[in-house]
Amino acid sequence: MKILLAGGAGYIGSHTALALLNSGHDVVIADNYYNASPEAVRRVEKLTGKPVTLYEADVQDRDAMMKIFKENDIDCVIHFAGLKAVGESVKKPLFYYRNNIDTTLTLLECMEATGVKNFVFSSSATVYGAENAIPYVETMHRGSCSNPYGWTKYMMEQILTDAVAADPDMNLVLLRYFNPIGAHESGMIGEDPKGIPNNLMPYISQVAVGKLDHLTIFGNDYDTPDGTCRRDYIHVMDLAEGHVKAVEYIADHPGTNIFNLGTGTPYSVLEIVKAFEKANDLKIKYEFGPRRAGDLPEFWANADKAKKVLGWTATRTLEDMCRDSWNWQKQNPNGYRD
């Protein structure tokens, strides 16, 4: 199949591009490089030995996107072109709503105009909100989100579901990611956050490489086994392979299908720090600080549906995730700017 990856030069998009190419699919990428780099795509081409059709384009730009749809015979779209920093979304809600909703509408309009019927969406566990019991199951209602970023995912899921309900020939897969970490085992592609990282693993990696002095663990008084928050961390290559399964499933399965992509096993912040130290034989300086606003104490996936229906399951261990994150960071201390 020929797959358009909107926002495909970012962290999850680039790893998915690699997995799709290695599975024999063709890849077209449109990206404005806001939180991404063309160098990631060049490295994907090098690793796979296969070409990617790459466009520098803002996915909100309808004319630019129409040109891409017309120039390529697209079978399926995967939408990664979302802004994703929780804290930034609280400060700049309009920026988040404009980008995330507009990119989704533009893709849907271009698909309608050119007859493309398959849409895979990068969603998030954040849509389960704070009300649902854990582990999260796909049959649960979406909950209320604690920040604008989360609400954009919630709203985008709704927009997509409505669009698909109105067209019996359209197929939609919503992939709800848990906490993606790690990097391709080569260390040539990985996560390259803008500025000081918000997320745990890039923060730990940058402490390890000496760019940041120490990690602050946000709260150690939660009602969890060691008092720190627990999450379902998933290796980004497992996540990427989940997209390949979704793309190969979607065309024969009309309507909306939702899958959690997680491991089903939670780890605490302290467990992640210890695992990183052990896997890489180094020490991470950390201290405990106050809780971060909006953090839930713990959540993880029920990952049964993806296993049963897609035949997908996460196979990489926490040790793999820690080793590969560090392998990427130490080879690329300044990300793609090296």
> How many other β-carbons are positioned within 10 Å of the β-carbon of residue 210?
8
Interface mask (CB under 6 A) for ligand UFG, residues 182-201, using x and -? ----------------xxx-
Name the segment binding ligand UFG (CB under 6 A); options: 20-28, 165-173, 188-196, 209-217: 209-217
Report phi then psi at 27, rounded to 5.
-125, 130
Q: How far is the CB of 256 from ligand UFG (least distance, A)?
A: 21
> Which residue reads 């271009």 in tokens?
110
Q: How far is the CB of 171 from ligand UFG (least distance, A)?
A: 25
Which residues in 106-135 contact ligand UFG (CB under 6 A)? Answer: 124-126
Does 269 bind ligand UFG (CB under 6 A)? Our answer is yes
From candidates 72, 89, 103, 179, binder to ligand UFG by CB under 6 A: 179
Indicate the SS3 state at residue 124.
strand
Does 231 bind ligand UFG (CB under 6 A)? Our answer is yes
Q: In angstroms, rounded to a whole number, what is the distance separating the alpha carbons of residues 132 and 135?
A: 9
The answer to whether the CB of 82 falls within 8 A of the CB of 100 is yes
Region at 74 (left for phi over 0; alpha for psi -120 to 50; beta for the rest): beta
Specify the pairing of strand 179-181 against strand 76-79: unpaired
Interface mask (CB under 6 A) for ligand UFG, residues 287-316, using x and -? -----x--xx--------------------
* Amino acid sitting at position 80: F
Q: What is the DSSP letter of 301?
A: B
Which residues in 54-93 contact ligand UFG (CB under 6 A)? Answer: 84, 86
> How many other β-carbons are positioned within 10 Å of the β-carbon of residue 133?
9
* Identified catalytic residue from 149, 249, 267, 336: 149
Q: Cβ closer to ligand UFG: 65 or 322?
A: 322
Q: How far is the CB of 33 from ligand UFG (least distance, A)?
A: 20
135 cis-preceded (ω within 30 degrees of 0): yes
Query: Does the CA dihedral 49-75-172-246 come out positive or negative?
Result: negative
Q: What is the DSSP letter of 310?
A: I
Count the site residues for ligand UFG by CB under 6 A. 22
Q: How far is the CB of 326 from ligand UFG (least distance, A)?
A: 16
Interface mask (CB under 6 A) for ligand UFG, residues 155-174, using x and -? --------------------
Catalytic site residue 97?
no
Q: In angstroms, rounded to a whole number, what is the distance separating the alpha carbons of residues 126 and 149?
A: 9
Q: How far is CA 123 from CA 154, 174, 260, in A?
A: 8, 6, 9
Residue nearest to ligand UFG (CB): 229
Q: How far is the CB of 221 from ligand UFG (least distance, A)?
A: 12
Residues carrying an active site annotation: 149
Return residues touching ligand UFG (CB under 6 A): 84, 86, 124-126, 149-150, 179, 198-200, 203, 215-218, 229, 231, 269, 292, 295-296
